[in-house]
Structure 1
Amino acid sequence: MARTEHGPHDLRDRAATVLLTVECQRGVVGPESALPELAAVTRASGALTNIARLVAGAHEAGVQVVHAVAERRPDGRGASRNARLFRAAERLPVQQLAGTAAVRIADPVPVGDGDLVVRRLHGLSPLAGTGLDAVLRNLGCRTLLVTGVSANIAVPNAVFDAVNLGYTAVVPADAIAGVPADYTAAMVRHTLSLVATVTTTEEVLRSWRRRRRGGGPEVSPA
């Protein structure tokens, strides 16, 4: 996996770091997913377990967690229809309808009382046009730790948008997933590593443990 250098704020200041989970909802990565192949890969690869470990670690370390959820109204108002993906999603047997179990965060990812949930009715990115950028700035975020699905679309969108908006993006490569299974590694190596700090779940957790002990280096890129 390609190495990258640390950005100036990579996880060193927990108050300026936000952990973002992307579409880690029951209707996407849960047992009754609208996208069973993606759900299966996310679980089999260990990505969902690693996301849960990172969220639990963030809660313990005092790092803000934000869950980005994609949903739609039952009447479809406000939903995008300008791409093949959106039109195909309308025909899936499981719909990501607001207020239903499909848009709840999937097990085993824990949701803390202080976690924020940002929902979107349109588009491909958890950042573009959702209000998340304003929320992050109000939180004092400078470093965005991006996890979730999919490595095909929403995760790279989140990373690109974060970088364009001036955030330092950090991607634990073992806490994202896409289809087919081997696509994620190629996306990380050839694309995300050029714009984000690529690391691992264990490195992130270790850096937070070091900070609690009061010393040691921060995250090492993978």
Structure 2
Amino acid sequence: MPSHEVLGDLLDPAGTVLITVECQQGVVGPAAALPQLAREARESGALANVARLVAAAHAHRVQVVHAVAERRPDGRGASRNARLFRAAARLPVQQLAGTDATRVAPPIEVAEQDLVVRRLHGLSPVQGTDVDALLRNLGCRTLVVTGVSANVAIPNTVFDAVNRGYTVVVPSDAVAGVPADYTPAMIRHTLALVATIATTDEVLDCLRGTATAGAEVRPG
């Protein structure tokens, strides 16, 4: 794990954005399209840790972006060039725009200042969406990546962000995938090569520390 000083340098609130990936009712909620993934996200504590990180981001003025995957009822514009997409189109729960399935799932709270970015196609919240332009306009240097799944969307998000020049921090206990033992292996052997891996508590401690340091340098 990174030292507190290294992580603290990366998590300057002015240049940090926290992204939640597909933390929506139809993916991690009680009536999700993939019950095994939803169960793992909840029982592992990953979803609760995402909620803790989002709450801290709100408290310490770190911008939050919620990346949501959805599709039109007629399927127009949806990707069909992979087995995953074709299987998803046959699931009993569909991520239809405007339905409960595409709303951010509790216990995560969406604040007025949060940005919600929706995509109709592809595997990544970054490629082919507004996310990159928004991050640049926000002055983002470090992207904190949370959510699901460790199988597909999380590594896609990390790789796309790194390829675009962002530094990435992954709280390892705030992401989930299936089976349960796949997530730590993927983080250790893949994401750790390109991102800074930390825990939720380490990220929270750094955010509190940067806030305290900022308060100490303000004139009385």
Deviation per CA, 1:54-92: give whole Å up to 9, x if none: 000000000000000000000000000000000000000
The equivalent residue for 1:195 is 194
| AA at the equivalent of 1:110 | E
> In the alignment, is the contact (CA less than 8 A) between 2:7 and 2:206 conserved in 1?
no
Could you list the runs of 4 or more consecutive aligned residues of structure 1 that deviate by over 3 angstroms after TM superposition? 3-9
SS in 1 for 2:67: strand
Deviation (angstroms), 1:15? 1.2
| AA at the equivalent of 1:45 | S
Deviation (angstroms), 1:112? 0.5
| AA at the equivalent of 2:48 | T
The equivalent residue for 1:10 is 10
SS in 2 for 1:86: helix
**Separation of aligned partners in 2, 1:88 and 1:105:** 23
> In the alignment, is the contact (CA less than 8 A) between 1:177 and 1:184 conserved in 2?
yes
SS in 1 for 2:183: helix
> In the alignment, is the contact (CA less than 8 A) between 1:73 and 1:121 conserved in 2?
yes
Deviation (angstroms), 1:211? 1.4
The equivalent residue for 2:58 is 59
SS in 1 for 2:133: helix
The equivalent residue for 1:69 is 68
> In the alignment, is the contact (CA less than 8 A) between 1:4 and 1:196 conserved in 2?
no
- Across the two proteins, how many residue pairs are aligned to each other? 212
| AA at the equivalent of 2:149 | S
Deviation per CA, 1:76-110: give whole Å up to 9, x if none: 00000000000000000000000000000000001
**Separation of aligned partners in 2, 1:196 and 1:124:** 19
- Counterparts of 1:1-222 in structure 2, within 5 Å, are 3=1, 6=6, 10-11=10-11, 13-214=12-213
| AA at the equivalent of 1:18 | V
| AA at the equivalent of 1:85 | L
Q: Note the residue ranges of structure 1 that are not aligned, 5 or more in a row.
A: 216-222
> In the alignment, is the contact (CA less than 8 A) between 1:9 and 1:142 conserved in 2?
no
| AA at the equivalent of 1:28 | V
> In the alignment, is the contact (CA less than 8 A) between 1:66 and 1:118 conserved in 2?
yes
Q: Note the residue ranges of structure 2 that are not aligned, 5 or more in a row.
A: 215-220
**Separation of aligned partners in 2, 1:149 and 1:208:** 23
**Separation of aligned partners in 2, 1:86 and 1:176:** 21
Query: RMSD of the TM alignment (CA)?
Result: 1.4
> In the alignment, is the contact (CA less than 8 A) between 1:4 and 1:193 conserved in 2?
no
> In the alignment, is the contact (CA less than 8 A) between 1:4 and 1:194 conserved in 2?
no
Deviation (angstroms), 1:212? 1.9
The equivalent residue for 2:217 is none
> In the alignment, is the contact (CA less than 8 A) between 2:79 and 2:122 conserved in 1?
yes
**Separation of aligned partners in 1, 2:198 and 2:62:** 17
**Identity of paired residues, percent?**
71
**Separation of aligned partners in 2, 1:135 and 1:212:** 24
SS in 2 for 1:51: helix
SS in 2 for 1:113: coil
| AA at the equivalent of 1:10 | L
**Separation of aligned partners in 1, 2:137 and 2:210:** 24
